[in-house]
Copies of this chain bind each other. A is one copy, B any other.
Amino acid sequence: MTTTITIIGAGNMGKGIAYVAARGGNSVSIVDRNADDARTLAAEVQAANPGAAVQAATLDGPLGDVVVFATWYTAAQDLARELGERLNGRVVVDISNPLTADFTALAVAGDTSAAEDLARLIPNARVVKAFNTTFAGTLVAGQVAGQPLDVLIAGNDANAKATVADLVTAGGLRGIDAGPLQRARQLEGLGFLGIQLQFTQNTNFGSAWKFLA
């Protein structure tokens, strides 16, 4: 089943998620405060995925059933405040890794997470944590070391998680239900750990966490 997806943020992660969504043949709208960036990315993703419908869009246009905040975590909070009730009932995907500016620590307290903080701002949206443990280039490629990427998905709304899992599966990846939204605390810890390892393992943001079994 295809769905309509609005990706806000045409940066590296927005690009990676746009590729995943487009591989599944969905309708993908890309929004960026820089309209040229949105148009350029939409054209690239459309050309690479002729089976999808990919277009640039603006925040004042219609939003998709799924809205992905592909931004820095503080910008996601600003977006939540700005869009407010327009997000009611929609699946809102938080992909953020809330790090300090020097990337050396998590910027949220241990008894919450960026995803839970975001959900409190938009209580009638269905917030799902996903994609924060995967890097942009690996989402474009769809795999690392010959194995499909794992996308860990946390949230309190089972249908919302299933929607994201379907999107992930249709894009050639493996979705794993990681539990309730509170589990975002561990997912953000894993994202942070993965980022740290880029610098010590010299993996150049080309690595992936795999749940092997």
Binding site for B on A (CB under 8 A): 109-111, 144-145, 147, 152, 176-179, 183, 185-187, 189-190, 192-194, 196-197, 200-201, 203, 206-213
Q: Could you list 22 examples of A-B contacts with CB < 8 Å?
A: A110-B110, A110-B185, A144-B212, A144-B213, A145-B212, A152-B193, A177-B200, A178-B196, A178-B197, A179-B196, A179-B200, A183-B196, A186-B189, A186-B192, A187-B193, A189-B189, A189-B190, A190-B193, A197-B211, A206-B213, A207-B213, A210-B210
User: Chain copies in the assembly?
Assistant: 2
Supposing A110-B110, A110-B185, A111-B109 touch, asked if A203 and B213 sit within 8 A by C-beta, the answer is yes
Q: How far in angstroms is the closest Cβ of chain B from A202?
A: 9
Supposing A110-B111, A111-B109, A196-B178 touch, asked if A201 and B189 sit within 8 A by C-beta, the answer is no
Since A109-B111, A110-B110, A186-B193 are in contact, a sample of 6 more A-B pairs with Cβ atoms closer than 8 Å, ordered by chain A residue number, is: A147-B212, A178-B196, A183-B196, A201-B213, A208-B211, A210-B210
Which among A183, A209, A211 has the greatest number of chain B C-beta atoms within 10 A? A211
Q: Check B212 against A210 for contact (C-beta < 8 Å).
A: yes
Q: Check B213 against A210 for contact (C-beta < 8 Å).
A: no
Q: Check A211 against B201 for contact (C-beta < 8 Å).
A: yes
Question: Bound complex: CA of A187 vs CA of B200, how far in Å?
Answer: 16
Q: How far in angstroms is the closest Cβ of chain B from A206?
A: 6
Q: How far in angstroms is the closest Cβ of chain B from A165?
A: 13
The one of B111, B189, B203, B211 that contacts A209, using a Cβ cutoff of 8 Å: B211
Q: How far in angstroms is the closest Cβ of chain B from A110?
A: 1
